[in-house]
Structure 1
């Protein structure tokens, strides 16, 4: 009965968190984000481009990337391999002369932290009646696959923290009774199994995604040269060695913990931000203090009833370590947030920021519960601690789940192409800005008059910076030939008309053959 009562608050918290996290499952998961594309995805060019070039917001894995171009028959247009720039942020592919037509362009890259990102879109060369509408592309093709945030990542981080934390306290605390030592070893064995299982599942899912695109013959040599491949293999070796080398010598246990956490730091968010040495170091410190807190609290949960005297002796050691851990975790978390995001306002614009705010609130709740536990211990009211320990345990599980999600969610808001469909009684307007990022963009407008006796005479486009930094920017859209009659007259311009990030408004003025003029506006944000 006691165990059931202990699990009740845990099940409530876990259920709530899974609902909360997966309600965002379609939003900005993954890491590397496309910030510049030339030519843009889902665009039309007059002549065959010499190359396709994609620039990302962070450093990429040196291996396991490609750009492929297919014609309408699914035939590959070039066998040449894509090339990566020295700073590992840019991928390009030289193209042969492409005849007029519509092509499918697809790319696949792996973030430096090991997370795959892939996307497809169309490229129309010249005028083509085969060009799909922007709205079809929005819903069917222009979907960026980031592999999502998944339960396996949460389980992996839970296994990592529980195993390293349990082993950490086994180094610094010795049991006086053999039965408690035996219980400790039983739980250590369970955590070994849990960690190895979660590592195999996480790696297996990653490998299955890569196998789909590369095949076994090409994948093995590529993995052997990639950071993710090496770190996963070393983690697997450490997980296997845990069955033979742990609990023999304390310094070996400490070195094993340190190696595992350093490897985890090398494939987390921190490796993709500058300066990488500093961000990785802070991230490792953050992992160490989380390990101390999770392992110590689980000590209390396991041994509180069966070895209360041992836990009363353990409490002063854990209390001091937990206080230091929370202080260091708070400081390192603030530093990482400062290094990860350029503006604090981004915290409320991304899933990563929202989860971080929730995690911060839970940590504050942990501090309050810890203070209550400390007060009860000072007053020697140990019989009243069970409820507080259940609450603390529930908060710990919630925080571990959020940490697992945070490792797979992008800290930065993403720029996505603007697709704006405006249907009014007099005109149907379709406007597209691609990639809708600072720098070079393609802006296209399709306008069709509803009344058959009227035609589009003039279309004017301007971009207004709502932050007041610059005067309105006139976009010199020019009429282009379009063989797709149902989407109306087409106008397009390409250039650096979005010079910097900020809040913008696109204004489209449409004048018909009777010289009646209407203006339509759409607000958007560039990050």
Structure 2
């Protein structure tokens, strides 16, 4: 019995496909057209020594900044300005994980000092700010000795969002189409059309990567889009971000060499496996250079984000191939074989997207309150709502496939797939904005740092002075920072730190405070204070084999 091979009516000519992709791109750009935040820092200054707005009897020999996560330097962006408007920081600041130590000249000048800083957080985003302290008595705040901005340039910040979106669009036009043409493409059909889509995807990913490297330079320094010099570029390329992007470029070259025979239909199984391995490695360069690398469970976040990106690219890229070529060029017999397989692939990709997205949200949002009280959380909600609409349309498309399209089915399937692509283009735009937005877990935690209950005191012993900072000095979890100085107010190396906390009024016996040395004279610890009242914190500091002393701080906890 002869098999009917009636061709389906044309759905999208190449010109109309191009117009559709341009329209989707414009829709996503509308999503990205949001004003840049004053600062998109994903770390925060957790404490400082001296404290902001404090008045000291003697000038410190150094200023210590402690951030909520590891940071790296931006050349010449950490400064201490004296009361006369001149810089008093000397030499380069020392970076040790989350701790930055700034040596300060001992000028003896009385008055107010200005500390300004700009550093890069672990997920490649800039952290900038400043505070003042005074020696003797406050005076007029000194002006900065530079006119350079320490904030984010809006053109650069929004340019990075656009570059990330272009990169995501490139992944869609690259991964899904390569998978379809490798495993589902009918041998009788020409590969010239899909080849154009795939090479476009390669070009977009490459363009986005190069633009990302270029824009990251002024993003870190706070300059404009053309404020790029050799020193700043080397600084970016030597970072984790730069390394990931350079590796991506190298992998793209190797992938491009393997794509040429594939698009001619000459690739063997070994080459396809190698292409999959290289593509998987390239996918990991996205999470390694972003939020996942700085999450509390970095290894899990990086893997989950890679799964999320891959699933998205397989699903949407397959839809592009379906609406752009297969529904237009394949006959009924070919579609009867292809569509059920593709439908199962799409269902698996959607399941992976949902699972990976859920894990990402649990890690990056942290608490239900942060989901509604932070910009990141609200963007997640918008993304979930839109994704739910896409899944509903995808279910309708799957129903059409199970019904073997039927009368008028191709037209309905075309419309459904078009709606899927339209909504997901906006979802991709939201994703590009999310990458540049402070994660909810960080934003929520930052609100608690340096709160109104912050406690600080300098305790004297016969051997040393000990500055004690307790943040937020409220019931619940608290961070403790200790700084040791000699009688001349210079940093004093400590051999061993021990501490306890007790609440005598409520018969709470002393409990140990685990203390972790950060530098020779700086230690930190975390402790939960479950009750309100005047807590007695005792610290024993040993500065040699035989010399040690104990001091006590009474901390009111509300």
- TM-score, scaled relative to structure 1: 0.70
- Alpha-carbon distance in structure 1 between the residues aligned to 2:22 and 2:340: 28
C-alpha contact 1:165 1:294 (8 A) present in aligned 2: yes
Match of 1:250 in 2: 272
> Is the 1:283–1:336 Cα contact (8 Å) retained in structure 2?
yes
CA distance in 1, matches of 2:152, 2:63: 18
Shift of 1:95: 2.1
Which residue, out of 53, 58, 64, partners 1:53? 64
1:365 aligns with 2:374: no
- Change over 3 Å in CA distance of 1:242–1:414 after alignment to 2: same
> Which of 309, 330, 353 matches 1:329?
353
Distance 1:350 1:186 in 2: 41
- Alignment partner, residue 17 of structure 1: 31
CA contact (8 A) 1:41 1:121 kept: yes
Cα distance change on mapping 1:196 and 1:15 into 2, 3 Å: closer
**Residue pairs, 1:214-253, within 5 angstroms:** 216=229, 218-219=231-232, 222-223=235-236, 225-246=238-259, 247=262, 248=267, 249-253=271-275
Partner of 2:422: 394
Pick the aligned partner of 1:436 from 440, 451, 456.
Answer: 451
Distance in 1 (CA, whole Å) between partners of 2:238 and 2:215 is 19
Deviation at 1:143, TM superposition (A): 6.0
Deviations 1:410-461 (A, max 9, x none): 113537999xxxxxxxxxxxxxx9943885579xxxxxxxxxxxxxxxxxxx
2:313 is matched with which residue?
A: 291
Whole-Å Cα distance in 2 between the matches of residues 50 and 112 of structure 1? Answer: 28
Q: Cα offset for 1:225?
A: 4.2
Instruction: Indicate yes or no: 2:454 matched with 1:414.
Output: no
How far apart, in 1, do the equivalents of 2:124 and 2:303 lie? 18
Counterpart in the other structure of 2:374:
350
> Are the aligned partners of 2:112 and 2:135 in contact in 1 as well (CA < 8 Å)?
yes
Please state if 1:97 is matched with 2:106: yes
Tell whether 2:291 aligns with 1:269: yes
**Using a 3 Å threshold, how does the CA distance of structure 1 residues 209 and 358 change in structure 2: closer, same or farther?**
closer
Contact 1:102 1:122 in 2 (8 A): yes
Aligned to 1:404: 432
Deviations, residues 171-198 of structure 1 (Å, cap 9, x unaligned): 332332342x111111111111111111
- CA distance, structure 1, for counterparts of residue 56 and residue 152 of structure 2: 22
Deviations 1:117-167 (A, max 9, x none): 22344443332431389xxxxxx9996889645322222232234323333
Structure 1: runs of 5 or more not aligned: 134-139, 419-432, 443-462, 471-495, 503-527
CA contact (8 A) 1:168 1:257 kept: no
Return the alpha-carbon distance in structure 1 between the equivalents of residues 342 and 452 of structure 2. 49
Q: Shift in Å at residue 11 of structure 1?
A: 7.3
Query: 1:311 and 1:197, CA in 2 relative to 1: closer, same or farther beyond 3 A?
Result: farther
Q: Which residue of 2 aligns with 1:130?
A: 140
Contact 1:28 1:409 in 2 (8 A): no
**More deviation, 324-333/296-305:** 296-305
How far off is 1:260 after superposition? 0.8
Quote the residue 1:303 is aligned against: 325
Partner secondary structure for residue 348 of structure 1: helix
Equivalent position to 1:26, from 4, 12, 37: 37
Aligned residues: 429
- The answer as to whether partners of 1:51 and 1:93 remain within 8 angstroms in 2 is yes
Return the alpha-carbon distance in structure 2 between the equivalents of residues 314 and 266 of structure 1. 35
TM-score (norm 2): 0.66
State the distance in 1 between where 2:421 and 2:446 align: 44
Going from structure 1 to structure 2, the CA distance change for 1:313 and 1:41 (only over 3 Å counts) comes to farther
Note the aligned Cα RMSD (angstroms): 4.1
Tell me the secondary structure at the aligned position of residue 306 of structure 1: helix
SS at match of 2:66: strand
Q: CA deviation at 1:272?
A: 0.5
Give the SS at the match of 1:251.
helix
Q: Flag the 1:357–1:417 CA change in 2: closer, same or farther, 3 A.
A: closer
Q: Distance in 2 between matches of 1:341 and 1:233?
A: 30
Q: In the alignment, what sits opposite 1:427? A: none
Q: Deviations over 1:7-30 (max 9, x none)?
A: 7984785365235xx15x337634
Q: In 1, Cα distance between the equivalents of 2:21 and 2:221?
A: 40
Q: State the SS of the aligned residue for 1:358.
A: helix
In structure 2, relative to structure 1, the CA distance for the partners of 1:186 and 1:354 (3 Å cut) is same
Q: The residue matched to 2:71 in structure 1 has which SS? A: coil
Answering whether residue 89 of structure 2 is matched by residue 78 of structure 1, we say yes
Equivalent-residue separation in structure 2 for 1:30 and 1:230 (angstroms):
21
Note if 1:153 corresponds to 2:164.
yes
Q: Structure 1 residues 183 and 71 mapped into 2: Cα distance closer, same or farther (>3 Å)? A: same
Give the counterpart of 2:301 among 266, 279, 292. 279
Residues 90 and 317 of structure 1: is their aligned pair in 2 closer, same or farther, counting only changes over 3 Å? farther
Q: Aligned to 2:179, what secondary structure does the other structure show? A: helix
**SS of alignment partner, residue 47 of structure 1:** coil
| Contact 1:171/1:253 (<8 A) preserved | no
